[in-house]
Structure 1
Amino acid sequence: MAGQSRKWMILVATIWIQAFTGTNFDFSTYSSNLKSVLGISQVQLNYLAVASDLGKVFGWSSGLALLYFPLWTVLFAAAIMGFVGYGVQWLVITNVISLPYILVFLCCLLAGLSICWFNTVCFVLCIRNFPANRSLALSLTVSFNGVSAALYTLAYNAINPVSTELYLLLNALVPLFVSFAALIPILRQPPLEPLPPDGVRRDSLMFLLLNILAVLNGVYLLLFRSKTSDVTSARLLFGGSILLLILPLCLPGLVYARNWYLHNIHSSFRLEGSGFILVDVDELEMHKGMVTREASLEGYQLLNDDVVRAVNTPDQKSFIEDDDGCCCTKVITRNQLGMLGEEHPLSLLLCRSDFWLYYIAYFCGGTIGLVYSNNLGQIAQSLGQSSETTTLVTLYSSFSFFGRLLSATPDYIRAKVYFARTGWLAVALLPTTIALFLLASSGSLAALQAGTALIGLSSGFIFAAAVSITSELFGPNSVGVNHNILITNIPIGSLVYGFLAALVYESHSVAGSKAESVICMGRDCYLQTFLWWGCLSVIGLASSVVLFLRTRRAYQRFEQDRITSSMLYS
């Protein structure tokens, strides 16, 4: 009984870690101040944002560290890297010390690397403790990474709402304190025990309750995102957000109390009937078996060989017969994936056209959203909305949080509405395209807020869904390497898109207070950038649609296998 409650304690600790370590999302709140203190150009400021994203290229180092060191050591190594990276930047921006540009660049790189190490720790904790529901655990915890900027904004308003360098101090200290708070649950991890079908179903219900609490968190942060001049009110609002994060701690106690009740009281009675069932028990049994390497490969191959041939519908047969058609059909059907979950080593991955379609969709979708958030401070300043920067950052963060939560929707509604996850990816890219052309067409505050919300929603969904898509398309056992290859598009996109935006910005700029610092005011500062980004997002949308058309047959076969297996086991 205690082991089950400790498992949920670990999940709550993982939520805390994720909620306070998405520190790269508040870069735009202090970027203008940092640019002024360093006396650098917009292009040089963009390189600092790239440095933070460049840490993802070295994310593999955290996995290497886990091979030789315990999990808690990697956690505190991440906290120390963030403490040094952000702490030194805080000393620079407050004029305590003066450093050359290259050292500030390295500090940004170190801070970005710390985020990757934190994420790795959280992924490992979820996979170890929730093997049968790891997708639900990952989607839930990753969602809270998107809410970090909103939480830091509430803390900023509650402490000193006139000093933007406070963000850097909070980025340095808070993850370190949270790491200490999460240490005890991590050190007391329960032994891994297989769950019975009713246990898996009960865990799924717990995840549903946690998602409801997560939605309440997001709604709270969204409703109270506006900056208030009353420090007392700001502190109450911040206290409320912390209370909502502490609330999931009730779950371990409820689990322990429920187990005690069932063991000591309920066993004396015989009660028939079941409660709420999120996912069918047979489906969960099959899913639990597919989590292991042998069942994932052998069981699925068996179904493909022996079952699928017997359950093909006439519609599918006609679809197969029509493959030899026009050029577009050949592009879609050529070298298609035969099944989901097939392992792809690096050499095979790079030869897959599906991978490059996926890469382009991510590069021209989610990465644009991330670069937009990095430039949000300058975008608001150029439109004369500098006072709204923190509100816009909170808005982006909140909707990114909702987007990440929505990425779990396909897992909850699959029994009633089944749609390939790559299709959901295409749908998620659409708001970014709409938002960018909206921003290009209007410079009003309403358009800025609407565009920021749409981009946050879209990029949040993509970031959270990417791990599951990579695992499904290119194999669960290779997901660590393959996903790290995929996200190399983030630093590349950050460099390319940010450099493009900086060039357009500086072409319309005037000299600032320092010789090398320039400031741009007016819609022209980012008009061409929004148009370019919008056109590129159309390319990403088109790539995602082609990817969906190429992979939908594999998803259909997987769903047929799931239904057939349920019928066989029932």
Structure 2
Amino acid sequence: MGNDETVRFLIHFFNGRWFMVFASFLIMACAGATYLFGTYSKDIKSTLGYDQTTLNLLGFFKDLGANVGVLSGLIAEVTPTWFVLTIGSAMNFVGYFMIWLTVTGKVAKPKVWQMCLYICIGANSQNFANTGALVTCVKNFPESRGVMLGLLKGYVGLSGAIFTQLYFAIYGHDSKSLILLIAWLPAAVSLVFVYLIREKKVVRQRNELSVFYQFLYISIFLALFLMAMNIAEKQVHFSKAAYAASATICCALLFVPLTVSVKQELEVWNMMKLPIEEPSEVKVEKPKKELDLDQDKAAKVNGEEKETKSCFSTVFSPPPRGEDYTILQALLSTDMIILFVATFCGLGSSLTAVDNLGQIGESLGYPNHTVSSFVSLVSIWNYFGRVFSGFVSEYLLAKYKLPRPLMMTLVLLLSCAGHLLIAFPVPGSVYIASILMGFSFGAQLPLLFAIISELFGLKYYSTLFNCGQLASPLGSYILNVRVTGMLYDKEALKQLTARGLTRKDVKDLTCLGSQCYKLPFLILAAVTFFGALVSLGLAIRTREFYKGDIYKKFRESPESESELVPDSRKAVEFVGK
């Protein structure tokens, strides 16, 4: 390439869909700070003298912020993506930086409500990253939404293990400094790519799925490396240099997908320069398409006029499944209510388990470095759950027309097993429980987001995708604060009384023994099983819908204009919105 052509290619590359996918991977890899709460929650509890109920209240506000993304969705409907990502960066830094100032004693001890506000703001920034990057990617790759959701949410799942490697390399074993890392790194990464994440012209490539499999293999290698480091760090004493080397390799693996993006954009660039061999196809099809387009535009105008006249009268008259629902039609539909209940039970229980992981390890007598390994295991298997549910559900849907809600049912049953291993612990069972809970927790999210996009359309996906998560913080509050936290404190007070002490005699309330979490996790297992039954009901309701071709409208949309560009291997079809 000459200098001028190189510059033009670089402009094309940085504006291409595949580079945007790589940038989204990095943003998502930094967007899972909420999963590290189990690592630094002990610092908050000991520094501020909280009991378990108060700590779980903080955990609830973390979950509330992380899952109530309606504000980010509504903002995304009326503002450009760069604005959404910028707001998220600012919220992330402010929220977690204030927590770091608090636990390090650099500011006066705040009220409980202030700490709840700080962590809610910091956690809510995750929704702005999701809305800015994840929703945009789904709209740019509508026919590969399952695998795209699995990959992007998979990187979110790995972020806990990635942050762990980085903070060991930068700060050593100071878990308070982990909060500072969480404050500045995600904000910086989002700002770097803030102008590169946006909706592009949809380019349908016939080898698109194979490219996503390349991304999958790279991410699996990264996950296996992180798991190997997690095991090695528990068996061998790592020096600061060893941690630095591990973090360097981790960062290098994060940038390997860039090579795939370069290759794909270079192929698109070369194909764009080739002459169109069959212009006659375009000449024959265009008049008919233009005529159809005019008719569709007229129909749309009439439809819009009708909608403005009867906005609320259509709330209970939704279109067929798969068409674009309005926000009210979707939120008040029976399918969404069923999905809400299943999410309340499944994600609510999973969030409760993950948030209490640090205290579970403490109550069962595990040392601090082992508790950190539980958090890393949850993070890594969270990743495997996300990519597994994304890719496997897409495969089962394409080959066997298996409804995605049925996959959700199976995942929730797996989660029940993890809860029971905590309720009835045996030596080493927490390791297995961490894997099962991490996998099932991760698998639920891509399934939830894909089901919403398939049943209710993509027109208002930015808002609906965030509304779909509202059940999880509600479930977290009831199951975490009102059930698990109160039962834990009740058992801890019994132990204090048996030792002849009162609550005023100790700084923080700690419970030791398997009985601390036995009853709470039996309740979580029962609630999750009920959620599995509800999800099964949704699978039965939607089985006929999933038997059809749910992506047909994206291939045969009357609004699209096709242009065939020759390729040395496969044709690449450009479809303009």
TM over 0.5: yes
SS of match in other structure, 1:63: helix
Is the Cα–Cα contact under 8 Å of residues 448 and 468 in structure 2 kept in the other structure?
A: no
What residue identity is the alignment partner of 2:467? I
Contact 2:347/2:444 (<8 A) preserved: yes
Change (3 A) 1:443 1:514: farther
Determine if contact 1:403/1:456 at 8 Å carries over to the other structure. yes
1:232 maps to 241
Between the aligned residues of both structures, percent identity stands at 26
Matched, 1:367 2:343: no
Q: Quick check: 1:23 aligned with 2:33?
A: yes
> Residues 36 and 514 of structure 1 are in contact (CA less than 8 Å); yes or no, is this contact kept in structure 2?
no
Asked if the contact 1:443–1:523 (Cα under 8 Å) also holds between the matched residues in 2, the reply is no
Structure 1 residue 533 displacement after superposition: 0.6
**Cα deviations across residues 266-317 of structure 1 (Å, max 9, x unaligned)?**
99xxxxxxxxxxxxxxxxxxxxxxxxxx89x99xxxxxxxxxxxxxxxxxxx
Among candidates 216, 220, 225, match of residue 221 of structure 2: 216
Specify the alignment match of 2:285 in structure 1. Answer: none
* Residue in structure 1 matched with residue 384 of structure 2 by the alignment: 402
Q: Distance in 1 between matches of 2:469 and 2:539?
A: 20
Equivalent-residue separation in structure 2 for 1:505 and 1:516 (angstroms): 16
Task: Give how far 1:413 is off.
Answer: 4.8
Pairing of 1:63-74 with structure 2 (within 5 A): 63-66=73-76, 69-74=79-84
1:162 matched to 2:165: no
1:96 is aligned, of 97, 106, 110, to 106
Choose the corresponding residue for 2:86, options 73, 76, 85: 76
Distance (Å, rounded) in 2 between the aligned partners of 1:416 and 1:427: 18
Find the aligned partners of 1:260 and 1:542 in 2 and give their Cα distance: 50
Which residue of 352, 358, 367 corresponds with 1:377? 358
The Cα shift of 1:515 comes to 4.4
Summarize the alignment of residues 183-202 of structure 1 with structure 2, pairs less than 5 Å apart.
Answer: 183=194, 185-186=196-197, 192-195=200-203, 199-202=204-207
Q: Tell me what 2:412 maps to.
A: 429
- Where do 5+ consecutive residues of structure 1 fail to align? 268-293, 299-334, 566-570
Offset from partner CA, 1:113-143 (integer Å, 9 cap, x none)? 1111111111343145435544433332122
CA separation in 2, counterparts of 1:194 and 1:476?
Answer: 14
Partners of 2:147 and 2:387 within 8 A in 1: no
**How high is the TM-score relative to the length of structure 1?**
0.79
Residue of structure 2 in register with 1:392 after alignment: 374
Q: Which residue of 2 aligns with 1:356?
A: 337
2:489 alignment counterpart: 506
Post-superposition Cα deviations, 1:452-491, rounded to whole Å, max 9, x if no partner, equal: 1111111111111111111222333344443333321111
Instruction: Tell me which amino acid in the other structure corresponds to 2:354.
Output: S
Structure 1 residue 253: Cα displacement: 2.4
Corresponding residue for residue 490 of structure 1: 472
Q: Does the 8 Å contact 1:75/1:118 carry over to 2?
A: yes
The whole-number CA distance in structure 1 between the counterparts of 2:27 and 2:63 is: 19
Mark the CA change 1:64 to 1:485 in structure 2 (over 3 Å): closer, same or farther: closer
- How far does residue 340 in structure 1 lie from its aligned partner after superposition? 3.1
The correspondence of residues 465-484 of structure 1 with structure 2, limited to 5 A, is 465-484=447-466
Alignment-mate amino acid for residue 377 of structure 1:
G
Preserved contact between residue 383 and residue 443 of structure 1 (Cα < 8 Å): no
Task: Work out the CA distance in 1 between the residues paired with 2:202 and 2:173.
Answer: 53
What residue identity is the alignment partner of 1:215? I
Report how far residue 185 of structure 1 moved.
Answer: 3.4
CA distance in 2, matches of 1:152, 1:512: 36
Task: Structure 2: state its 5+ residue gaps.
Answer: 1-8, 276-295, 301-315, 497-501, 557-577
Q: Which amino acid aligns with 2:545?
A: A
Q: CA deviation at 1:512?
A: 7.8
Matched residue, 1:112: 123
Q: In the alignment, which residue of structure 2 is the partner of 1:416? A: 399
Residue 560 of structure 1 and its aligned partner are, at CA, apart by: 12
* Among 525, 543, 555, the residue aligned to 1:552: 543
1:148 paired to 2:131: no
Contact 2:85 2:191 in 1 (8 A): no
Residues 76-133 of structure 1 show CA distances to partners (whole Å, capped at 9, x for unaligned) of 2211111111111111111111222221111011112111111111134314543554
Question: 2: distance between equivalents of 1:153 and 1:108?
Answer: 19
1:456 aligns with 2:438: yes
Q: Which amino acid aligns with 2:12?
A: G
1:242 alignment partner AA: C
The structural deviation recorded for 1:31 is 0.6
Give, in whole Å, the separation in 2 of the partners of 1:471 and 1:65.
19
Deviation at 1:355, TM superposition (A): 2.8
SS at match of 1:407: helix
Q: How many residues align?
A: 496
Amino acid at match of 2:230: R
Match of 1:447 in 2: 429
CA RMSD of superposed structures (Å): 3.2
Distance across 2 between alignment mates of 1:72 and 1:561:
31
Residue type at the aligned position of 2:30: F
SS at match of 1:519: coil
What amino acid sits opposite 2:183 in the alignment?
A: A
Q: C-alpha separation between the residues in 2 aligned to 1:430 and 1:211?
A: 26
Aligned residue for 1:438?
421
Q: Matched residue of 1:492: which SS?
A: helix
Stretches of 4+ moved more than 6 A in 1?
511-514, 559-562
Shift in alpha-carbon separation, 1:442–1:124, aligned structure 2, 3 A: closer
1:483/1:21 CA distance change after superposition, 3 Å: closer
Amino acid at match of 2:347: G
Partners of 1:234 and 1:522 lie apart in 2 by: 33
* Equivalent position SS for 2:512: coil
Alignment equivalent of 2:521, drawn from 530, 539, 542: 530
1:201-242 Cα offsets, whole Å, 9 max, x none, are 133221121111111111111222133532222221111111
Given the superposition, is the C-alpha separation of residues 74 and 558 from structure 1 closer, same or farther in structure 2, using an over 3 Å criterion? closer
Measure the CA separation in 2 of the matches of 1:367 and 1:521.
Answer: 25
Distance 1:151 1:87, change over 3 A: same
Query: What letter is aligned with 2:519?
Result: Q
Asked if 2 retains the 8 angstrom alpha-carbon contact of 1:19 and 1:147, the reply is: yes
